Amino acid sequence: MSKHHSLLQSFGALLVLDADSRRIQAISSNAAVMLGVSAPEEGRFPMLSSVLGKRLSQRVRYELQGQQRLPGPLTFKCPTRSNRFQLHAYRAGAHVLVEIEPLNTLGKQRLLGTVNERLMRLAEATHQEELLDYLVMAVQELTGHDRVSVCHFDSDWHGLIVAESLSASSVKPSGELPSGRLPALLGQRFPAKDFPIALRRAYERHPVRLIQDVAATCEDLQPRDVAADVSACFLRAPAPERQLYLQRLGGRGALSVAMQGDTGLWGLLYCHSATAHPVTPPVRDAVRTLVQMATQRLLLLRARQEARYLQRVQDSLVLSSNNRLKPQNPYQLFTQHADTWQSLFRAHGVALWVKGSVYQSGNTPKPEAISQFVTRIEKAHIHSGPWCTQETTKEPLTSSLGMLEHSGVLAIPLPTSPTQRSWLIFFRPEQVETLYWAMQPSSSPLHPLMLSPSAAWCEEVTGKSEAWQRVERLAAMDLGEDLTLAISAYEISTLNMHLERERKALADANQRLEQLAHFDPLTQVWNRYRIEQAIDAQLVAAQRYGAAFALLLFDVDHFKQINDTLGHSVGDDVLVSLARLVENSLRGCDHLGRWGGEEFVVLATHSNMEAAEGLAERLRSLVATLYVNGLDQPMTVSIGVAVWQHGDSCKTLIARADTAMYQAKRNGRNRVEIAAKSAP
């Protein structure tokens, strides 16, 4: 154990107990002053009750039986002192650690009312900038720090300050910084080396970190020969490198709270003060509550924005009812929709490669370069997902193709033929970006940083395009599936007109069209178009004969994490295995369809509420037993169940099932939720 791990901050005291939580084996060096307890002498370990009193000691012992930590903090009045304190107790190896902090007389009701008001304001925010600006302002009002910032991590773990609030006294009317005050960091970046993986994992385990005074003398454990592990202690002193880091930022007191996203750490809320700055436990809890609410609201706003974008792409799909009746050739489709596609994907050019023919719109490479690129990517990119790059000059597939004007490429495979895929390709130009980095290299680490943006600390990024966002890649796949079907429909239509004498070829082509039109190419279950047809037919039967039926809408929990960490090939295997398992377990009168992405729909005919719920629970349990090669964690699904009621349409049934499914996710995933009945 490194030496600094045994050092503690002085705003609280630490007691080290035996495994039975009865005797004190070590104390922090400030416990004598704070709690009136002396360090244990050799062979004489005082009882915990001598510090906490008999009743509180018994409660701590009782609540820790068989548990790793107390379910929540306890408050008490020390028998030897008149002050009130708060304690946390938890197990660390062979010891029980008790962290104790003094409580001030802060009015809990007033704090609760203030927090509730702030939570309501956060819940009403309609966009990210408004949400984060209000969060930092509200936190600063609660804590009184000189500077409160939100740092967001990009995909490379570089940090960007996206919101900030400075105290009113932090800046003079002239714009100069008063002595001892902290400068603004808004818009500045911090390199990924400032956030090593060990630090990020520590925030996942312990989302709140307080450094009351980085310059204060640290406390030690007495006696020092007690080998207690205090690495997870809230009172632990910061490591020397973090002390130095905070000092170089110009801060003396700091509070930081992790902002956890869907798949990991989204960012951090930082509170800095130029002087020592205490933050009481109730205020810390209030700040954490605000951060959690803001993070959830942020994720919801992002999900809504992505949903609106995906809907716009859906609205642009080419396979309309008219196109089903009168299929268009690839050139007509491309000419009609190219401008819309460029706008949706923020591209300055788009190309469609079909059987050696290249159709182009906007600013694109030469046809020969596009054909050569298709030849390379057809061999190198074998899975069905999209391929993209921001730097064509550094990407092996494109570096020698003369695409200097096109830094970004997004390519979507279209499985229009068993032997040769077609490709839809978007191009983006170089986006010169000026980045302001907050960290100044210094030969002397004791010198404070110069944090104001200046030419010396500006980085001009060239040769890269704007990044292809995850939602754009998903939308591109939706567009690619629809375009594949449209092109295939045209090819089949052409065969029907010109190959009447070749009946076998015509039959094979029609069979392929049927497969493309009604079955999902990956899982081989019904696609969305076919399952919608079946639902509409069941609705007619229900209205006419009162035949009850239900819809089960479910998707794979944490599927994005599986794709991001294990790769698209494992993700595809998960979907194929899941579809095969569910389809084989259904009755002959029930139907399975892929609704989109990782979402599936089961149409359960002749099923009332009880039968539908039973089926959903059976499927949920069955999926939990599924094994997929390469996936080392159990697979689970969240299922929403909606039973037909008079007045339902396909849209309302799906909407109720979708609402129930997301309720299942909010309630912990791997569960079944029944949709509420709609109002008559």
Token pair for 236: 């632990």
Q: What is the 3-state secondary structure of 246-271?
A: HHHCCCCEEEEEEEECCCCEEEEEEE
Bridge-based pairing state of the strands 24-28 and 221-222: antiparallel
Over its C-alpha atoms, the chain yields an Rg (Å, rounded) of 31
Give the DSSP letter string of 37-75. -PPPBTTB--BTHHHH-HHHHHHHHHHHTT-SB-SS-EE
Residue with tokens 């949903």: 307
Can you give the pLDDT at residue 298? 93
What is the C-alpha to C-alpha distance for residues 515 and 534, in angstroms, rounded to an integer? 16
CA distances from 87 to 27, 100, 127 (A): 14, 4, 39
Token pair for 297: 């609201």
Token pair for 295: 């993070």
Amino acid identity of residue 198, one-letter, is: A
Can you give the pLDDT at residue 245? 85
Can you give the pLDDT at residue 193? 87
CA distances from 67 to 96, 229, 235 (A): 11, 18, 21
pTM beyond 0.75: no
**626-660 per-position pLDDT tens digit:** 988 888 888 999 999 999 998 889 999 999 999 99
What is the C-alpha to C-alpha distance for residues 174 and 210, in angstroms, rounded to an integer? 33
Can you give the pLDDT at residue 1? 39
With H, G, I as helix, E, B as strand and everything else as coil, classify residue 587.
Answer: coil
Helices 281-315 and 470-498, axial angle in degrees (round to 10): 20
Amino acid identity of residue 547, one-letter, is: A
- Size of the chain in residues: 680
Give me the phi and psi of 148, to 5 degrees please. -120, 125
Give me the phi and psi of 100, to 5 degrees please. -125, 130
DSSP 4: G
Nearest to 97 by CA among 237, 209, 233, 239: 233
User: Taking the chain (680 residues) in consecutive chunks of 10 residues, what is each chunk's mean pLDDT?
Assistant: 64 91 89 76 74 89 90 82 85 92 70 87 92 96 95 90 84 48 88 88 91 91 84 89 84 94 91 93 93 94 90 74 68 90 94 94 94 94 92 92 91 90 95 73 40 52 88 92 87 76 65 77 91 93 90 93 88 92 92 92 93 94 90 90 92 94 94 82
Can you give the pLDDT at residue 450? 44
The residues that bridge with 596 in the sheet, in sequence order, are 599
Q: Is 579 left (phi over 0), alpha (psi -120 to 50) or beta?
A: alpha
